[in-house]
Amino acid sequence: KGGSLCSRQQGGIFMKYGPLGRSGLIVSRICLGGNSWGAKGNRGWGKFDEVEAPAYFKRALDVGITFFDTADAYNAGRSEEIMGATLVKMTKRENFVLSTKVGIRMSNTENDVGTGRKHLMAAIDEQLRRLQTDYIDVYQVHRLDPHTPIEETMYTLDQIVRSGKVRYIGGSTMPAYKFAQMIMLADWKGYSRPIAMQNLYNLIQREEENEMNRLCHEQGVGLIPYSPLARGFLAGNRSREGGGATERSKNDVQVRAGTYRDCDWEIVERVKKVALGKNASPAQTALAWLLSKPYMGSPIIGATDLDQLSSAAKSTEIALTVDECKLLEEPYQPRLSPVN
């Protein structure tokens, strides 16, 4: 499968590992995301704090997941704080890969936002403090701001890498031409080069195949897409009338039945069909499709149940045929703009 280098049995699961992009950083082929950490009381499915988190991080490590992602803007820094108070203390720092993001507004202070030098230099120290670690493995531009020249951003990121506070850099959702500028400037100036792109990509949201995914494949940048199950829709437990079996399906306004089109529901039916033939779940099958892509690094999953972590880890063992991938992809119709 694309990017797989080795596997290791953990808890009866053969987790796959491979390089992130064209770099020497080895990551588990499944990444656990931190968007829900610290959202307790704010969302029906965001129930995690320092009390609940350790069980999830322990289960993740037990099934071989060693790649964890968060951001400063996730719940106003609480996600990073929870990871620092729990995950970072559970195992040796070199035993896992930690990524976080920067760029979204953190307060009403004028410079507490964006990718300018003042904010980046202040943000990295605050993030290290919250995460209770000396370094971040992958530091990603969450959103580029329209006011800062890319030259300033890339120069500052390179200095942060040279300081030892960050090992690698990456980007998140942005126009492909902007990411191409980041890569070209890094190559021209000898700055640290992006190795990862965190974008919206799944079986029903494939607009990034047009430009960004092609760019990343050609430039050796690994994809670590968010929402690989389309906010849970591809797990196959939703109703056309609305709602479903999970807390998220009942509470997330972005997964209402009206969000999805007939072609999306057809894709779900085909996911269920292929899953049945593989003795797998729909969620595992949707993840296996992503993992079949040659530019894929590690899809970022969320979890509201411990068994979802074990299930996701098992998806790395599933190999889809060319015909099965074609069956899953056939009903797709592009959107005029992605659903975030």
List, in order of start, the domains of the chain with CATH numbers: 6-329 (3.20.20.100)
Measured between alpha carbons, how far is 261 from 265 in angstroms, rounded to an integer? 7
Distances (CA, A) of 291 to 74, 140, 271, 285: 26, 21, 15, 10
pLDDT at 276 over 70: yes
Give pLDDT, residue 254. 53
* Model pLDDT for residues 120-175, shown as the tens digit of each residue: 999 999 999 999 999 999 999 999 999 999 999 999 999 999 999 999 999 999 99
Across the range 267-276, mean pLDDT stands at 98
* Model pLDDT for residues 165-220, shown as the tens digit of each residue: 999 999 999 999 999 999 999 999 999 999 999 999 999 999 999 999 999 999 99
pLDDT at 9 over 90: no
Q: What angle do CA 78, 21, 146 make, to 5 degrees?
A: 55
Those residues whose C-beta lies under 8 Å from the C-beta of residue 276, and which sit 6 or more positions away, are none
pLDDT at 252 over 80: no
* Model pLDDT for residues 69-109, shown as the tens digit of each residue: 999 999 999 999 999 999 999 999 999 999 999 999 999 99
Give pLDDT, residue 7. 75
Active site residue 74: yes
Those residues whose C-beta lies under 8 Å from the C-beta of residue 181, and which sit 6 or more positions away, are 150
Cα 188 from chain centre:
28
Give pLDDT, residue 247. 53
Across the range 286-293, mean pLDDT stands at 97
Give pLDDT, residue 227. 96
Measured between alpha carbons, how far is 166 from 160 in angstroms, rounded to an integer? 6
How many residues does this entry show for the chain? 340
How would you classify the pairing of strands 136-141 and 166-172? parallel
Give pLDDT, residue 218. 97
Those residues whose C-beta lies under 8 Å from the C-beta of residue 166, and which sit 6 or more positions away, are 124, 135, 136, 137, 138, 139, 157, 160
Measured between alpha carbons, how far is 167 from 193 in angstroms, rounded to an integer? 11
pTM: 0.92
Partners of 97 in the β-ladder:
67
Residue of 17, 74, 201, 226 marked active site: 74
Burial per residue of 278-290, b for 16 or more beta-carbon CB atoms within 10 angstroms, e otherwise = bebbbbbbbbbbb
Give pLDDT, residue 244. 54
Query: Would you give the end-to-end CA distance of the chain in angstroms?
Result: 28
Helix (H, G, I), strand (E, B) or coil at 202: strand
* Model pLDDT for residues 318-333, shown as the tens digit of each residue: 999 999 999 999 999 9
pLDDT at 339 over 50: no
- Rounded CA Rg of the chain: 19
Mean pLDDT of the chain: 91
Give the HSE-up count for residue 134: Cα atoms under 13 Å, Cβ half-sphere: 5
Give pLDDT, residue 1. 40
Helix (H, G, I), strand (E, B) or coil at 10: strand
Across the range 105-117, mean pLDDT stands at 94
Share of the chain above pLDDT 70, in %: 89
Helix (H, G, I), strand (E, B) or coil at 333: coil
**H helices present in 30-116, as ranges:** 53-62, 78-85, 87-90
Give pLDDT, residue 249. 47
CB 296 within 8 A of CB 315: no
